[in-house]
Amino acid sequence: MLAEVLARAGDLVGRWEREDCGVVTAKEFRRYAAAVDDTGYLRAARAAEAAGRPVTAPPLFLTGILSWEDGPVEAELRPDGLAARESPCTRGLPVRQVHGGQSVRLGSPLVAGARVRADRAVRSAEAKRGRSGAFVALAVTTRFTGEDGTELASVDETIIVMDQA
Question: Which pLDDT band holds residue 74 (cuts at 50, 70, 90)?
Answer: confident
Name the domain count of the chain.
1
* Distances 78 to 4, 55, 123 between C-alpha atoms, Å: 17, 36, 23
Q: Over 80: is that where the pLDDT of 68 sits?
A: no
Among residues 37, 78, 27, which one has the least CA distance to residue 57? Answer: 27
Residue 146's φ and ψ, nearest 5 degrees, are -80, 175
Mean pLDDT of 28-54: 96
* Nearest CA among 53, 67, 59 for reference residue 41: 59
Share of the chain above pLDDT 70, in %: 87
Q: Is 27 helix (H, G, I), strand (E, B) or coil?
A: helix
pTM of the model: 0.84
Q: Which pLDDT value is given to residue 31?
A: 93
pLDDT of residue 126: 96
pLDDT digits (tens, 9 = 90+) for 104-140: 999 999 999 999 999 999 999 999 999 989 999 999 9
| Cα–Cα distance, 36 to 25 (Å, whole number) | 17
Q: State the residue range of the domain holding 28.
A: 2-163
Domain at 87, CATH number: 3.10.129.10
